[in-house]
A and B are shown apart, each in its own frame.
Chain A
Amino acid sequence: MGFPITAAEYAAYLTLAAQKIEAEKEYISALDAATGDGDHWANLNTGFERLVREREELAALPLSACFQRIGMLMMNSIGGSSGILYGGAYMAAARTLRGKEVIDREALGQVLQAMVEDMCTRGGSKPGYKTMIDALYPAAETYRQLAERGRRTRSFSARSSGPRWRARRRQRRWKRCGAAPIISRIRAWGIWTRAP
């Protein structure tokens, strides 16, 4: 999937993400068990199952409405504090996408920025509070800086730290495991091991 991204492509991406989540039950549950109740996977998976069920409707919507709908579905089916943080972020992104038909390189920067800002204000959090903002804020910030400098933003993930495959995998994990303060703890320890 390259730029520009359409609603149909994004809906297809959600389906892939849902398959990943479905497959990583043990991993996500173990992460959450170390910091929370251990039921995050169950809630997250319910949410993505719901998204997959509506993928055709989502793909047919205008981009902004598509993101708005994703936000509502996530909020209402995942529930708890993660549901509203993920959902609220998508709804904030929907506002930046009004009137756009595709996400281009610049729009993606705005989307990331809007998502992180919404999570910060809604959750009363800032970078450094040991929340998922610690992972998302640097990503959005790096993207913005690179986009400003006019570099090819395709390689931004490689620049955050370490080899690109590792950064990509890490972002996938962060996105997946949501509200886990564990991430910053692991990062502080500087330990990364192979996925189970």
Chain B
Amino acid sequence: MANIPLWRICFLQSGMSVLLYVISEELRGGALEAAGIVRGQEGHSVCNVGGLVAFKHLSIVCGKELFMKKIINDPGAVVHEMLLGMAKSHPELYYSEGLEVISRRVKGDKVGVISGGGSGHEPAHAGYVGKGALDAAVCGHIFSSPSPDRILEGISRADAGKGVLLVLKNYSGDLMNFQMASEMAEEMYGTKIDKVVVRDDVAVPDSSAATGRRGIAGTVFIHKIAGAAAERGYPLPEVKAAAQKAVDGLRSIGMAMTPCILPAVGTPGFAIEDDEAVLGMGIHGEPGIQTRKIPTARELAEEFADRIQADLDYTGKEAAVLVNGLGGTPLMELYILYNEIETILRKKNIRIYRSFVGNYLTSLEMAGCSLSLLMLDDELKELLDAPCDTPALKIL
């Protein structure tokens, strides 16, 4: 097995015997090539799904298996226990146990700003709850939208009678659950609710028919802008207008080098070869647009900047830059990348007003990164510079 490094190997259970299937790179579109039959290995069973090998269930890449190495107690309780720890570590935050909402202890007399989504992207979104940013963050299971009862709790924790703005990433599960919860809150409490949907990932074609572009790391900018606007006492329509303006000038692109492992699953959901990187891969491992040999920081910076520039022209504009790590990439590499990005943006006559480098919106232990550019005008610059005190983002 070890001498066929570029091949994917899967075990496939069929009745009593276990077939060994080898799928070559060339055949990875679904076609399979049966290489032989070996003795069964207990514990490595993958169901035979009508001839389709569910090879993602058991990922054996390059002859070695990837096992889960996580500091946890119970895979089913990771979100709960994480939030318990977070609330203990940041006493200014309140944790609604059972409903998995992190909110500020003290409600301000202002528009509430809430965000939420699947867990596994820490510090997003609970790490951005605090003065100058979110009022509440609603956490779902890992990579899975929170349910309406949790969102309702988030809305009521954030609502001070002046309305609530939802900052959502563009995923159908989030949109459906938040929509249902908003309708319930409007009906039950009479809360005024509006929303902005972040769709910054240029790797996905923008389409109105399908769900369209995903929301990724650039979302953190929207938390900051909307939070600052609300903190200034803007009414709901103006908070939304500022956030929407930021969303319209926000573009991101990412790259992943290793898969991530969901605690409840225990094995990677997909495989990336040892020497390869996937450009445009989503923050839940959604397929990217190009698989290539791992680029140098310089090549990657150019690729990122070109792809973003091709989608929205930032030439001559001022922009905030976010170089985001996906959880498994050291800060050293992110700064190396930022060094290159700064050079390239300067060459392209894009003025960097403010930069952020770090793990702002992650994907469990995935190695990889993303670049986000936020186009700024005077209003957005002021909002970006406004004070903000949250566990994961402090501007003082």
Query: Which residues of A line the B interface, CB within 8 A?
Result: 26-27, 29-31, 33-34, 36-39, 42-43, 46, 72, 75-81, 83-85, 88, 122-124, 182, 185-186, 189, 191-194, 196
- Closest-by-CB residue of B relative to A77 is B147
Q: Does B186 contact A (CB under 8 A)?
A: no
Is the beta-carbon distance between B49 and A30 smaller than 8 angstroms? yes
We find that the number of chain B residues with CB closer than 8 angstroms to chain A is 42
A83 contact set on B, CB distance < 8 A: 147, 177
A29 to B14, CA, bound (A): 16
Say whether B47 contacts A196, CB under 8 Å: yes
Report yes or no: B144 in contact with A31, Cβ–Cβ below 8 A: no
The answer to whether residues A39 and B147 also contact, given A33-B54, A34-B52, A186-B50 and a CB cut-off of 8 A, is no
Considering the chains assembled together, what is the distance between the CA atoms of A15 and B349 in angstroms?
A: 64
Q: List 5 extra interface pairs beyond A81-B172, A192-B50, A193-B48, CB under 8 A.
A: A30-B54, A30-B57, A76-B149, A79-B144, A186-B52
Closest to A83 in B: B147
Q: Is the CB of B56 within 8 A of A80?
A: no
Residue contact A29 to B57, C-beta cutoff 8 Å:
yes
User: Nearest-CB distance from B167 to chain A (Å)?
Assistant: 19
Interface residues of chain B, those whose CB is within 8 Å of chain A, are 13-15, 45-52, 54-57, 76, 118, 140-150, 171-173, 176-177, 180, 211, 262, 264-265, 267, 269, 284-285
Which residues does chain B contribute within 8 Å of A26, judged by CB atoms? 45, 47
Nearest chain A residue, comparing its CB with the CB of B263: A39
Q: Check A39–B54 contact: CB distance below 8 A.
A: no
A193 / chain B contacts, CB cutoff of 8 Å: 14, 48, 50-51
Interface pair A30/B46, CB less than 8 Å apart: yes
Q: Are A27 and B47 in contact (CB under 8 A)?
A: yes
Complex contacts, A186 vs chain B, CB 8 Å: 49-50, 52
For the complex formed, measure the closest distance between the CB of B10 and the CB atoms of chain A, giving whole angstroms: 11
**Inter-chain contact A196/B52, CB cutoff 8 Å:** no
B325 to chain A, nearest CB (A): 21
Distance of A182 Cα from B57 Cα, bound (Å): 15
Complex CA gap A43/B177 in Å reads: 16
In order of increasing CB-CB distance, the 8 nearest A-B pairs are: A81-B173, A80-B144, A33-B57, A30-B54, A30-B47, A191-B50, A38-B265, A34-B54
Q: Within 8 Å CB of B52, what residues of A?
A: 34, 182, 185-186, 189, 191
